[in-house]
Structure formats: structure tokens, C-alpha cells
Chains A and B, each alone.
Chain A
Amino acid sequence: MTLRSRLLPYLLLAPSVAFLAALFLVPLVQTISLSFMEEGAPSLANYSRMVSDINFGPAVRNTFLLVLTVVPIQIVMALAMAMMLQKLPRGRDLVLWIWTIPLGISDLAAGLVWLAILQDRGYLNSALYGLGLIEGPTAWLTYETPVALFVGVVVAEVWRATAIVLVILVAGLQLIPKEYKEAAEVFGARPWTIFRHITLPLLKPSLQTALILRTVLAFEVFAVVYAIGGTNFPVLVGEAYNWQRNYQNTGVAAAYAMLIVVISLAATVVFLWALRTKPEQQP
């Protein structure tokens, strides 16, 4: 091999490495230092301001509640949808396209979509009125109705982001060799047994990816919440946004960002460990 061809891969990688260094590694270090700085000196002031803020407790609680509710629902729903697709004899492409449409829809737009349904004079209330369950326009999305507001945000998030889980799982299912299933069928295994003992274990890498991706993104939840509930439902990223845009305090915003990063990373490590596949288990 000549020197030139040995250098070639590095030349090809260099631009993207330089870019990621400038826009990922450097800002990351800066966020860390911003969060630990107060007027040029190292300090924990930003963190103590963050923790003592009135919205901090609710924001942590709401964000965790959302992630812990939304992500499991999405995994179960996407699994069910992926299995349904496998059995579909005709029209598979059409159904798949419809189910993946939300993949391209932003969280802000999804929030607005569900606002149209859940607002006082929206379609949900019209339906409830038609059924005789409510007397007239009813507000669901205020701070006085925290449970309804929470359910609204969950529904919007499930509606929007289940598609990405579905795509990852369907792609994973395609990688599972048919022979395993056929062999199990020969030995008389029922569909449920096949699913539990063959499909699910072999799908572990895809489930891991889906869980990591979704959990990281779910901790970033913010625009959906803003669109549906305004400031009635504080979440972590929303608070980071508030401190940056409305209070012009990058330090506290950076402290929130660090908190989110640490939580996301912890979740990633947990999923990497809990769903690790030993080499001998791979098909």
C-alpha cells in the first residue's frame, strides 16, 4: 500500500471529525464549564439556583413521569404494529407508509395537532358532548387539570414518536433468519412461544437502539408540552429554554442542560448493560 492510499481514509474522515469537534466536543466542554461558572469564578451557584427554583421539582418529576410512561407504551405499541405488519398479506407498503408518517412530524407540530383535538372547543369535547358526557366546552389543558394535561402530552408524544421505534424494530425483524421460526414451527411451537423465545431475544439489539434513542429524545421533550399546555406543565428542557430566552441566564440553562445530559447518559449506559448481547447469542 502506498502512503497516499494509507492516508486517504483519514483525509476522508477529517472534515467530519473537525466539524464534530467544533460543534459537539467543544460546546460540550463549554456547557460543562458554563454550568460551573459564576461571574468568571468556579462555583456551584447555577446549580443551587436551579435546584431552589420553584419549577425545578415539578420539571424533574414531570419529565421522568413522561419518559417512564411514553417509552414503554411506544415499545409495546411498535412491537405489536411490527408483528401485525409481518402477517399482512396485501397493502403492506401503504400501511407502512401511513404508520411512518409521524416520523417526519416535529414535536411542535404534533403538539399543535393535539391542541386542535383537545382544546376547549375541540374535537374531543365535541365528541364527548355528542355522547352526552359533558354539558359544553370544557378545559382540559390548564394547571387545574394536571392529570388530563399529562395524558394529553402522553398521547401526543405516543402519536408522534412511535413511528421511529416501529421503523427500528421492523428493520431488526428483517435481519432475523426465517429458519429459526420455521424450525420452531416444525416442533409445534405456538405463535406466542415463538415470539417470546425466538423473536424477542433476537430483536434485543434493535430494542436496545430504540430504547436508547427514544429515551434520550424523550428527556428532551419540550415543544409538544409548550404547544399543548403552555407553561402549565414544566419539563427540564422547557426550563433550560426559559432560563436562556426569558431570564437571559445561560449559566442556569447550562446547569439544566448538564442535568439532562447526565440523565440521558445514565439511561444509555443502563440500556447498553441491561440489553447486552453476548457474541454466542447472536444469530
Chain B
Amino acid sequence: MNVLRRTVYIAGIVALCAWVLVPIYFIALGAFGGRIGVFRWPKSIWPGDASLAAMQLFLQVEGVGQAMVNSIIAAAITMALSIALGAPAGYALARFTFPGQNAYRLLILLTRAFPLAILALPLTVAFIRIGLYDTAFGVALIHTALALPFAALVSASLFQAIPRELEEAAWVFGCTRFQAFTKVVLPLALPGIAATAIFAFVISWNEVFAASVLTVRNRTLTAYLLTVLAESPLHFRFAGGFLLIVPSIVFIFAVRKYLFAMWGIANR
């Protein structure tokens, strides 16, 4: 009986791993199989037609390269902005008690109960007026609104985890508050902040609605794929989908240590 239960248990774990991984393998086959691979019937689960040529062809299609560059630019700006604005807020939440603290937490909570990307609609009007429409920077701004509350909460928990005594010791030895922060607190918080930054990057990299509404020619990769979806051949879509996934897998691997520490406290 015990052996049976154990077998079922292990089989369940393996099946759930396969549930995640096998579809990714299939789209990889689609991405590298090209036109011929897409039409093959019945499909083989082995990479018979796979070649780099199909992917190369996709990357040479007009607009793809530029869309990737735009995606990277928007995501990089999102990353920088959400840390630059969120980390100080997190530090304030972690180290001070002050009137208005709860109002700030409420503001952050509110942003999480809203479908934020939807707010891109009125921003198109405003962005056209101030010249931010159809720019990677404009997209990055709304993506920052998505990532910033998250960055503030996570960095608050990161700073909270660093003992206040370390900072106070630095003050005793003659450091100013700022010096104590840069020399003692920051190095300790840096890995966690890097993980948060990577998360902001992924949030921006994956966002579809706002990016599609806010751009016409300077599309990000998601917006580009969405708008050409209806008229593009299947192998083209698979190549695009696969390209969207690859960085995500790498990033999740990079932040895996922080995933739970981050969410465990950030969702309170």
C-alpha cells in the first residue's frame, strides 16, 4: 500500500512537471520547424524538421528586430524607474513610523485591485499631446505604474529584514544616515533589489494591452505580435511566442531564490 501511494505521489509530481515543460517543448518545435514543420501531419514529437534557419528567417522579418529592441528598451526603463521610485519608498516604509503611512499602503493596495493596463486608454490622449505616444518611454511609464507598487512592497520587506542595529552601529562610528545606507544597508539589500528589478523587467516584457494601445510603429514585441497575429502564418507566430518565453525562463531561474521571500511578505 505504502509503495503504491508513493508511486502515485511521484507520478503526480512528474506529471505536473511535464504539464509545464512539454508545451514549451512543443512550441520550440513549432518555432524551429518552419513552414514545413507546421504543416506536417501527423506531427512527430521528435525534432525532425528543426533547424536554425526558421528562427533566422523570423528574425529577418521587417519589424521583428526593432520590436525586440523596443521591448528591451521599455523593459529596461521600467526596471530602472520602478527601482528608483520604489526602493526609497520601501526604505521609508521599513524604517520610519509616520502619519500617512497607512494612506500610502492603501494607495498601493488600490493599484493592485485595479486592472491597471486599462488606464492606458486616457493616457493615449495625454501622450499624443506631450509627444510620448508611440515611444518606448511612454510604454515604460505605464509599465512602471504596474511594477512600482510591487517594487515598493518588496523592497520594504527587504529593508525590514536587515537589522536596524547594523545601521545604528554605522552611525555610532561617525557615518551620516546616507553613508550608513550606502555602505551598510545597500550592499546587503542589493541581491534582493536586483531580483525585484528583474521582476519589473519581466512585467514590462510580458505586458500586452497597454503596449498595443500606446504604440503604432514603435511596437514592443508583444504589441507587434498581437497586431500581426491575424495575418501571420503559424510558424511565424510560434517563433514569436518562443522568443517571448526564453528570457522569462532565464529570469525566473535567476530570481528563484527570492521568489518566495518576495511574495511571502509582499502580499500582506
Which of these, A100, A114, A219, contacts B23 with CB under 8 Å?
Answer: A114
Number of residue pairs A-B, CB distance < 8 angstroms: 281
Is A70's beta carbon under 8 Å from chain B?
Answer: no
Is B41's beta carbon under 8 Å from chain A?
Answer: yes
Assembly CA distance A143 to B184 (angstroms): 61
CB distance from A131 to the nearest CB of B (A): 11
The stretch that binds A, out of B51-59, B62-70, B187-195, B255-263, is: B255-263
Chain B residue contacts of A174, Cβ below 8 A:
260, 264
Chain B residue contacts of A123, Cβ below 8 A:
26, 43, 45
Which of these, B16, B208, B251, B259, contacts A223 with CB under 8 Å?
Answer: B208
Is A226's beta carbon under 8 Å from chain B?
Answer: yes
Contact at B119–A101, with CB atoms within 8 Å? no
Contact at B229–A117, with CB atoms within 8 Å? no
- If the complex has contacts A19-B144, A101-B20, are A230 and B229 also in contact, measured as CB distance less than 8 A? yes
Interface of A is mostly: helix
CB distance from A47 to the nearest CB of B (A): 15
Q: Which residue of chain B has its CB nearest to the CB of A206? A: B267
Contact with A along B27-54 (1 / 0, CB 8 A): 1011000000011111111000000000
Enumerate chain A interface residues (CB-CB to B < 8 A): 5-6, 8-10, 12-13, 15-17, 19-20, 23-24, 27-28, 30-31, 34, 81, 84, 87-88, 93, 95-109, 111-117, 119, 121-123, 125-126, 129-130, 136-137, 159, 167-168, 170-172, 174-175, 205-206, 209-210, 212-213, 216-217, 219-220, 222-223, 226-227, 230-231, 237, 240-241, 244-245, 250, 253-254, 257, 260-261, 264-265, 268
Interface size on B, residues (CB 8 A): 100
CB distance from A236 to the nearest CB of B (A): 10
Chain B residue contacts of A222, Cβ below 8 A:
208-209
Contact at A119–B92, with CB atoms within 8 Å? no
CB distance from A174 to the nearest CB of B (A): 6
Residue of A81, A103, A119 most packed against chain B (CB within 10 A): A103
Given contacts A108-B244, A113-B245, A223-B222, 7 further A-B contacts (CB under 8 A): A12-B88, A15-B89, A19-B144, A108-B208, A116-B27, A126-B41, A240-B118
